[in-house]
Structure 1
Amino acid sequence: MTIKKDSKALVHFNVLLKDGSAADSTRVDGKPVWFVFGDGSLTDSLESQLLGMESGQTKKFELAGSDLFGPVNPDNIHFMDINQFPVDVKLEEGAIIAFEQMGGGSLPGMIRELKGHSVTVDFNHPLSDQEIVLEVEVLEIR
């Protein structure tokens, strides 16, 4: 059976950066995920790479991070006063901090810049602006 527009596919995947370092993997916890095709949950770029694959097949390909995690949105970059952060939080560029959301839950934000009392926090997905390599293994197709 092959993946078609109305298929569901159980897959293992590895998300790698261009330098080969691992960013995410379903293999870490041994739990593959279901990809649903044609319902809008996957980007067109990702679907086009996977359509036609068969159960048991593996594939490795490059994608822009925005094709998996959405484009960088300038509205998701915020400037905050350093006094809004608890004193025990170590602020440094590249650090990812969990911010409490109204109504519960948390949202990760990356510290992009520290300048005086201003802290630039980016709430875009950290891989949105990266070129990535995706390795996919199709386990089952329905």
Structure 2
Amino acid sequence: MAIKNKQLVVMHYELKVNGAQIETNFDGSPIEFSYGTGEIIPGLEEAIQDMNEGETKEVKIPAEKAYGKHDPSLTETLPISDFEGIDLEIGLVLEADDDNGDLIKATVTEVTKDEVTVDYNHPFADCDLDFKVFIKRIV
């Protein structure tokens, strides 16, 4: 029986970007999510909609249905004095709470003697994602 909205899906997956494995849970615990509620990226949810318990599938999720295109407006250059006590380097992911108390992440993309440029785009923005999924259980 294929997955339906609001059903609990128990799934193993492997994620590759540009042929490199980024993460997998095939050797560990599966993820659990309520299908159709936006808990996973839209393209993956769409790709598994007709799958059944016990089924394995490989799918390519285009960037537009994953983490979107890179948005240049989501970068910001700040004075280096805002980062006092932090060992800054390109690629460092910084975490902070926004005004609502929600966690935000930014990646350092440039460091000069006076300024730091950070990028708030998801690290996989502009990336097509290759998934191998196994539907372990549908409840």
The answer to whether TM tops 0.5 is yes
TM-score normalised per structure 2:
0.78
Distance apart, 1:90 and its partner CA: 2.5
Equivalent positions of 1:78-97 (< 5 A) are 78-87=76-85, 89-97=86-94
Partner Cα separation in structure 2 for residue 65 and residue 27 of structure 1: 24
Check conservation: 2:57, 2:134, Cα contact below 8 A.
yes
Check conservation: 1:3, 1:53, Cα contact below 8 A.
yes
- Of all paired residues, the percent bearing the same amino acid is 24
Q: How has the CA–CA distance of structure 1 residues 38 and 103 changed in structure 2, closer, same or farther, with 3 Å as cutoff?
A: closer
Check conservation: 2:66, 2:129, Cα contact below 8 A.
no
> Which ranges of structure 1 fall in alignment gaps of 5 or more residues?
none
The aligned amino acid for 1:61 is V
Partner Cα separation in structure 2 for residue 11 and residue 129 of structure 1: 25
The answer to whether the aligner puts 1:59 opposite 2:57 as a matched pair is yes
The aligned amino acid for 2:128 is E
TM-score normalised per structure 1:
0.77
User: Cα RMSD over matched residues?
Assistant: 2.6
Equivalent positions of 1:114-125 (< 5 A) are 114-125=111-122
Q: How has the CA–CA distance of structure 1 residues 48 and 76 changed in structure 2, closer, same or farther, with 3 Å as cutoff?
A: same
> Which ranges of structure 2 fall in alignment gaps of 5 or more residues?
none
Give the total of aligned pairs: 139
2:13 maps to 13
Check conservation: 1:36, 1:42, Cα contact below 8 A.
no
Partner Cα separation in structure 2 for residue 37 and residue 21 of structure 1: 25
